[in-house]
Amino acid sequence: MAVSTSAAKRLSRPGQEAVRTRGWLAAHKWLLLRRASQLTILALFLAGPWFGVWLVKGNLTSSLTLGVLPLTDPYALLQSLAAGHWPYKTALIGAAIVLAFYLLLGGRVFCSWVCPVNLITDAAAWSRRRLGLKTGKTPAEATRRWLLGATLVVSAATGSIAWEWVNPVSFFHRSLFFGWGLGWLALAAVFVYDLTVARGWCGHLCPMGAFYSLLGKTALARVTAPQRARCNDCMDCFAVCPEPQVIRPALKGSGSPVILSSDCTTCGRCVDVCGQDVFRFSHRFDQRSAS
């Protein structure tokens, strides 16, 4: 569908109506909270190696908080099992805690509220909109699920946690811990890729996103569109959503107003930028709708 010049210009700065009606702070509330969450988690990991304050040891793959709370990435644990390595008891406990958390809140909450690479892909999306860049051809959506399976096969074949060889999340941590290195080049490559291919990395390639999406199929926490009758088709929510295909069934369908797709990252940007207050956070059983 062709987009007029004026509409394209408006979509380069989505959320202006929300800023006018609710004010800048309210129109960026969930974005600011997500940034606070991502940066706080990074700061907790960096406080030890940078300042000697060891509140959290490890990284997002495996960590120990205050010396008592183990947390383990279940995707890494799954690769370890595929590789033939039986994990320590603390790793199993840590993975169980993380699994329970994301099964309840939605697996891709990790992508939007925890993963530091989201800072890079969001920056690329913001730059692409502002520069008016045309997007290149995106890989098939199923590519990330094939890559997820491939990492398990390679782990089994090599006896190692295969994704850690190329995991940008781990590169991010190592680069901050140890300074300049090849990891920054990998992160720059992710930025350039997402600058030219809309939602290319998180939405189509990242196997971690595919894994956490599987965890989120039955999650309780959801975004819903109870005021979808107010929608004025401004398209701002589609412009900012990292997985825009999840919005239409709830916003334009006649069924449930709840965004039920496990690909939804529960980032809250649609809540922020909607000048008509169509969206809000709720739960999967909330079927209230004004339409």
261: left (phi over 0), alpha (psi -120 to 50) or beta: beta
The percentage of the chain sitting over the pLDDT mark of 90, rounded to a whole number, equals 79
Domain that holds residue 110: 55-214
**Per-residue DSSP letter, 258:** B
Supply the DSSP symbol for 217.
G
Same domain (yes/no): 63, 192: yes
Q: What is the pLDDT of residue 287?
A: 85
The domain spanning residue 241 has which CATH number? 3.30.70
Per-residue pLDDT tens digits for 141-197? 899 999 999 999 999 999 999 999 999 999 888 888 777 677 888 899 999 999 999
Decide: 154 and 165 in contact? Cβ < 8 Å.
no
Residue 198 lies inside a defined structural domain of this protein? yes
Asked if 204 and 225 sit in the same domain, the reply is no
Do the Cβ atoms of 79 and 191 come closer than 8 Å? no
Which pTM does this prediction carry? 0.91
Count of structural domains, the chain: 2
pLDDT in tens, 156-170: 999 999 999 999 999
Closest to 142 (Cα-Cα) out of 290, 12, 263, 33: 263
Residue ending a domain, among 180, 214, 248, is 214
Domain end call among 191, 214, 237? 214
Q: Would 209 be classed as within a structural domain?
A: yes
- What is the Rg, in whole angstroms, of the alpha carbon atoms belonging to the chain? 20
In a domain, 129, yes or no: yes
200 and 61 assigned to the same domain: yes
**114 and 65 inside one domain:** yes
Question: Is there a single domain that holds both residue 210 and residue 224?
Answer: no
pLDDT of the residue at 247 = 97
Indicate whether 210 and 255 sit together in one domain: no
Least confident piece of the model among 40-49, 168-177, 211-220: 168-177
